């Protein structure tokens, strides 16, 4: 076994980030390959960890950090699949960034001199490392304070990348993103500190001692409030459409992860240790989730801007996971996690394809697009695949996720309320089909706009942009057709409930 395996997955990207900072003058534009190589390495490490966990030995590493605060890393059946998929998405998007960032810098800072451009270039790539580090940190964390720290850490690269490379009104949106992120994180902190005051420890493994404690209700409520802000649950979704849409598209896929990873935190920190106390929240969560699903979908249907469309769709997609978590049965929780993974895969492809469209044509308004399939077949295939994954067309991971999720949800409440929530939940996926495939029709099908007909620049993007996304699509099909390893891993933890 490789020593310090889990620590490496966190530390190596940090070291690589420092490396970029130090050598940016020497390496110049070549630094952009550092994230790709580093993340390929950590993905390989996670694969090795995955094999070990699959064979039945969870990996735990404990380091001391300060008095009362340990620094533990735990890769078990729940955290590892999540971490692995997230890391793969980060890797894919680091390849995708290679051309995209260059294009973005050219658009925004094209008039600056070479040196300034170079400094923006390096800034992006070292900031990029903070994403995988924070995501993996949240996944592997063993105490509440670590989770809080990594959640807050995520906001930093988001803020800077937004204000350096974002789209319309980028400074205002960056501040908005920062404030909402901090507020959400602060609620998590309140909850964690409250938990500490009750049990004298931040460790997740001791959280179960709080079961039955009257304060537990408030602890759960505070942490949930914070996480709902991240997950953009109605009515806390206000930040999502602008922040998600105006980000440079190369990290937009990561923003979906940023929002959706809260689902993992809910399972890890609240449902697993405090199952009985969490039951009170079950039905309200399901109702909120259903509202958000429908509201988000209707919001998405109203969009003409291709990036905003993807952004709004995240609101409703995240709530499917939340619906599963609220139902609190083994299958529904497993389904919620599986759907989360399927969603981030699908959304990364969908959003990045939207990015490709914007990169190639420079147009965001879907009414001005049309017929692009004749010029950009690969992008059209990518978009349709993503739409299929998000909608849950049979044989994709979305379908399997939907199946597991909703059989669980049906089992939760054999009453009319529960049954109607479940039925409405499945039926509302038809809205997903309408907006994803409808957008495909508006962008890629129909007659080709005459102004594109003779434009040689309108063609499929360079391979570094399309191939990573195709690989993500293949992964989605693999876990859709053969979910057993994943489900066995997840079941090894959640099945204990």
Partner 1 sequence: MAVIESLSPLLAISCPFICVFLILLFRKRPNIRESCTMLASIMQFLIVFSMAPIIVAGNVIECPLFTIFTGLDFIFRVDAFGLIFAITSSFLWILVSSYSIGYMRSLHEHAQTRYYACFALAIFGAVGIALSKNLITMYFFYEALTISTYPLVAHNGLAEWGHKQEQSEQAEEARFAGRKYLAYLITSGWFFFVAIVLTFYLAGTTDFENGGILTVASASRMILMTLFALFMLGSMKAAWMPFHSWLPTAMAAPTPVSALLHAVAVVKAGVFVVVRIVCYIYGIELMGAIGLGVILVSIAAFTMIVASLMAIAQDNLKKRLAYSTISQLSYILFGVALLNTMGVQGAMLHIPFHGFMKITLFMCAGAIIVVTGKKNVSEMAGIGRTMPVTMTAFTVGALGMSGIPPVCGFISKWYLGLGTLEAHSLGLLAVLMISSLLDIVYFFPIIYTAFFGKPEGWTESGNKNENTKINEASIFMLVPLAMTAIFSIIFCLFPNTFYILDLVKLAVAGLGGGV
Binding site for partner 1 (CB under 8 A): 374, 393-395, 400, 403-404, 406-407, 410-411, 414, 419, 422-423, 426-427, 429-430, 433, 446-447, 480-484, 487
Enter the tokens of residue 11. 């530390």
Which lies closer to partner 1 via its Cβ, residue 3 or residue 414?
Answer: 414
Nearest to 95 by CA among 344, 379, 462: 462
CB of 169 to partner 1, least distance (A): 37
Which lies closer to partner 1 via its Cβ, residue 85 or residue 147?
Answer: 85
Which lies closer to partner 1 via its Cβ, residue 44 or residue 411?
Answer: 411
C-alpha 229/C-alpha 83 separation (Å) is 22
C-alpha 269/C-alpha 265 separation (Å) is 6
CB of 208 to partner 1, least distance (A): 29
Enter the tokens of residue 391. 């909608």
Which lies closer to partner 1 via its Cβ, residue 328 or residue 404?
Answer: 404
- H or E element in which residue 365 lies: none
Which lies closer to partner 1 via its Cβ, residue 290 or residue 404?
Answer: 404
Q: If you write DSSP's letter for every residue of 123-181 in order, what string do you get?
A: HHHHHHTHHHHHHHHHHHB-BHHHHHHHHHHHHHHHHHHHHHH-STTHHHHHHHHHHHH
Enter the tokens of residue 189. 């902190």
C-alpha 286/C-alpha 179 separation (Å) is 27
CB of 411 to partner 1, least distance (A): 6
CB of 332 to partner 1, least distance (A): 11
Distant-in-sequence, close-in-space partners of 273: CB < 8 Å, separation ≥ 6: 204, 205, 207, 208, 210, 211
Enter the tokens of residue 183. 């507020």
CB of 148 to partner 1, least distance (A): 35
CB of 358 to partner 1, least distance (A): 24
Distant-in-sequence, close-in-space partners of 180: CB < 8 Å, separation ≥ 6: 229, 238, 239, 243
Which lies closer to partner 1 via its Cβ, residue 214 or residue 414?
Answer: 414
Which lies closer to partner 1 via its Cβ, residue 140 or residue 410?
Answer: 410
Enter the tokens of residue 361. 């044509």
- Cα dihedral across residues 164, 360, 449, 438: positive or negative: negative
Phi, psi of 355 (to 5 degrees): -60, -40
CB of 331 to partner 1, least distance (A): 9
Q: Interior CA angle at 463 toward 304 and 309, to 5°?
A: 15
CB of 375 to partner 1, least distance (A): 11
Contact 56, 116 (CB under 8 A): no
Region of 211 please: left (phi>0), alpha (psi -120 to 50) or beta. beta
Which lies closer to partner 1 via its Cβ, residue 122 or residue 429?
Answer: 429
Tell me the residue length of the chain.
497
Which lies closer to partner 1 via its Cβ, residue 49 or residue 290?
Answer: 290
CB of 483 to partner 1, least distance (A): 6
CB of 316 to partner 1, least distance (A): 15
C-alpha 66/C-alpha 396 separation (Å) is 45
Distant-in-sequence, close-in-space partners of 87: CB < 8 Å, separation ≥ 6: 9, 39, 42, 43, 46, 132, 135, 136
Q: In a 3-state reduction of DSSP, which class is residue 75?
A: strand
Q: In a 3-state reduction of DSSP, which class is residue 67?
A: coil
Contact 192, 223 (CB under 8 A): yes
Which lies closer to partner 1 via its Cβ, residue 58 or residue 438?
Answer: 438
Which lies closer to partner 1 via its Cβ, residue 238 or residue 481?
Answer: 481
Task: Kindly provide the b/e burial profile for residues 295-307, where b requires at least 16 CB atoms within 10 angstroms of the residue's own CB.
Answer: bbbebbeebebbb
Which lies closer to partner 1 via its Cβ, residue 22 or residue 430?
Answer: 430
DSSP class of 454: T
Phi, psi of 462 (to 5 degrees): -60, 155
CB of 427 to partner 1, least distance (A): 6
CB of 134 to partner 1, least distance (A): 31
Which lies closer to partner 1 via its Cβ, residue 38 or residue 400?
Answer: 400
CB of 406 to partner 1, least distance (A): 5
């Amino acid at each position: 076994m490789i020593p310090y395996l889990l620590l490496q997955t966190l530390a190596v990207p940090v070291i690589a980030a420092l490396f970029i900072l130090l050598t940016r003058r020497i390496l110049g534009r070549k630094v952009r390959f550092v994230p790709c190589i580093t993340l390929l390495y950590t993905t390989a490490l996670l694969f090795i960890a995955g094999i070990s966990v699959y064979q039945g030995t969870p990996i735990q590493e404990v380091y001391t950090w300060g008095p009362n605060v340990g620094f533990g890393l735990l890769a078990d059946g729940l955290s590892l699949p999540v971490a692995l998929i997230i890391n793969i998405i980060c890797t894919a998007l680091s390849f995708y960034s290679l051309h995209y960032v260059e294009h973005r810098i050219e658009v925004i800072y094209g008039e600056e001199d070479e040196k300034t451009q170079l400094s923006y270039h390096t800034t992006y790539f070292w900031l990029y490392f903070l994403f995988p580090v924070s995501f993996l940190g949240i996944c592997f964390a063993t105490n509440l304070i670590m989770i809080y720290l990594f959640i807050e850490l995520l906001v930093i690269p988001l803020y800077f990348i937004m204000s350096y490379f974002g789209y319309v009104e980028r400074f205002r949106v960056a501040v908005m993103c920062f404030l909402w992120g901090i507020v959400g994180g602060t609620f998590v902190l309140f909850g964690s500190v409250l938990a500490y005051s009750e049990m004298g420890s931040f460790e997740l493994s001791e959280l179960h001692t709080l079961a039955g404690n009257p304060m537990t209700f408030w602890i759960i409520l505070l942490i949930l409030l914070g996480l709902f802000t991240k997950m953009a649950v109605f009515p806390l979704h206000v930040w999502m459409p602008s922040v998600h849409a105006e980000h440079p598209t190369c990290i937009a896929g990561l923003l979906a992860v940023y929002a959706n990873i809260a689902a993992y935190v809910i399972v890890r920190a609240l449902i697993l240790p405090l199952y009985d106390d969490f039951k009170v929240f079950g039905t309200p969560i399901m109702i909120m989730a259903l509202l958000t699903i429908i509201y988000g979908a209707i919001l998405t249907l109203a969009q003409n801007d291709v990036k905003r469309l993807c952004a709004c769709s995240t609101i409703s997609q995240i709530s499917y996971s939340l619906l599963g978590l609220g139902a609190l049965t083994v299958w529904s929780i497993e389904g919620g996690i599986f759907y989360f993974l399927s969603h981030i895969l699908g959304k990364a492809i969908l959003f990045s394809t939207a990015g490709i469209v914007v990169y190639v044509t420079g147009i965001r308004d879907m009414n001005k697009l049309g017929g692009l399939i004749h010029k950009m077949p690969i992008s059209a295939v990518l978009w349709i695949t993503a739409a299929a994954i998000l909608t849950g067309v049979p044989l994709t991971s979305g379908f399997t996720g939907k199946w597991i999720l909703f059989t669980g949800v049906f089992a939760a409440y054999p009453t009319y309320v529960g049954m109607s929530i479940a039925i409405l939940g499945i039926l509302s996926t038809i809205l997903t089909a309408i907006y994803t495939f409808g957008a495909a029709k508006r962008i890629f099908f129909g007659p080709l706009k005459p102004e594109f007909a003779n434009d040689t620049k309108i063609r499929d993007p360079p391979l570094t942009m399309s191939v990573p996304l195709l690989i993500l699509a293949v992964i989605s099909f693999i876990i859709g057709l053969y979910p057993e390893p994943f489900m066995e891993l997840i079941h090894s933890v959640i099945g204990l409930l």
